[in-house]
Structure 1
């Protein structure tokens, strides 16, 4: 799916909630919905994330702002989180994977750090896993493992390890996959 297709899907979902949602000119915003008026608008700059964010406000009937800049309100946090999860679900259904998280963010307009943090916390529970158990879990996600598709940095990012652990992770993953270490 591309950006236009995703935007169209989300706009359809918004309109299915009974909100009239049209292209227009807005000041300082890419998209907005007023449930009191049953109307919403968006600019040409709006991304699938912006539409999904507004959809979540309409879905949860968030009709009250806490102030002009209420980015830290519970409604805003929930709309951001749920928008990412909805778009991520569609991405995965269309053969996306965790390894494509950068591409996902480019297509959807989702913020990379927030998306990575949310998806990583969803995908794996490290609370009681050792480094070795995480490595085994990681390689078990592959159908075929080669030197080309085994990305050490993706492993470290996926499990929240610092990149300083690169050499240790490389040695462990290569040992588990029976690759010879060639520097």
Structure 2
């Protein structure tokens, strides 16, 4: 993904919010007026980070600046903070990952320190999630006992809904085939249908 492609995507997202963006020569990089639904940007000096920052202002319909250099205002902090995850999400959707971090910084124009902090946090969360999935505890109880208990709740059984059984005993859907086999064994012994 190139810088221009990223800029086009962000401009499209701003326009989806009803704000018309126009290129022009500016002293600043970009300005959005959410009350009048217009915005301007300098096509020569604009970066995806700055445009994403303006997209966040548009998203929350921020109305006014507190002063000319109000980088400490809540709205400015929020726009800076949320622009990085927005750009990272777009970057990863297009096939990028943390191995190409330098390319991400170059293409997006995001501040290095803030970006690396965000991406490290994201990668750590994803690693924890994937390691939890890899080490998901296997069912160690007796599936047969659960199946017998389930069947004993009915006077007459026409059909056994295996997913309902798994949910009732709070079992993983991964046990579906094993449950079918267990019900088949019980069916063979009792002439039940599943």
Size of the aligned set, in residue pairs, is 128
SS in 2 for 1:40: strand
Compute the displacement of 1:82 (Å). Answer: 1.2
**Separation of aligned partners in 2, 1:10 and 1:56:** 10
Aligned partner of 2:191 in structure 1 is none
**Separation of aligned partners in 1, 2:119 and 2:78:** 15
Question: 2:5 matched to 1:5?
Answer: yes
Compute the displacement of 1:79 (Å). Answer: 0.8
1:106-117 matches, within 5 Å, as 106-117=106-117
SS in 2 for 1:87: helix
**Separation of aligned partners in 2, 1:90 and 1:38:** 24
Q: What whole-Å deviation, never above 9, does each CA across 1:26-62 have from its counterpart, x for those lacking one?
A: 12x1111011221100002101111111011000111
Aligned partner of 1:89 in structure 2 is 89
Unpaired runs of at least 5, structure 1:
126-133, 141-183
Compute the displacement of 1:70 (Å). Answer: 0.8
**Separation of aligned partners in 2, 1:67 and 1:16:** 28
Question: 2:27 matched to 1:32?
Answer: no
Compute the displacement of 1:91 (Å). Answer: 0.9
Aligned partner of 1:149 in structure 2 is none
**Separation of aligned partners in 2, 1:19 and 1:92:** 26
Aligned partner of 1:41 in structure 2 is 40
Question: Which structure features the higher share of helix residues?
Answer: 2
Aligned partner of 2:122 in structure 1 is 122
Q: For the aligned residues, what is the CA RMSD? A: 2.0
- TM normalised by structure 1 equals 0.65
**Separation of aligned partners in 1, 2:78 and 2:123:** 19
SS in 2 for 1:101: helix
- TM normalised by structure 2 equals 0.62
Compute the displacement of 1:64 (Å). Answer: 2.0
1:1-183 matches, within 5 Å, as 1-27=1-27, 29-43=28-42, 44-124=44-124
Runs of 4+ in 1 over 6 A off after TM superposition: none
SS in 2 for 1:124: helix
Compute the displacement of 1:78 (Å). Answer: 1.1
Unpaired runs of at least 5, structure 2:
135-194
SS in 2 for 1:86: helix
